[in-house]
Amino acid sequence: MFLTIKRFAQNDDGAVTVDWVVLTAAIVGLAIAIIGTVSKGALDQSAGIGANIAAKTSLVP
What Cα–Cα distance (Å) separates residue 25 from each residue in 3, 5, 21, 40, 42?
Answer: 36, 32, 6, 24, 25
Question: Is the pTM of the predicted complex or chain greater than 0.85?
Answer: no
CA distances from 1 to 4, 5, 39 (A): 5, 7, 59
Q: What is the DSSP code (8-state) at residue 60?
A: -
Could you read off the pLDDT tens digit of each residue along the chain, which spans 61 residues?
888 888 877 776 677 788 899 999 999 999 999 999 999 899 999 999 999 998 888 766 6
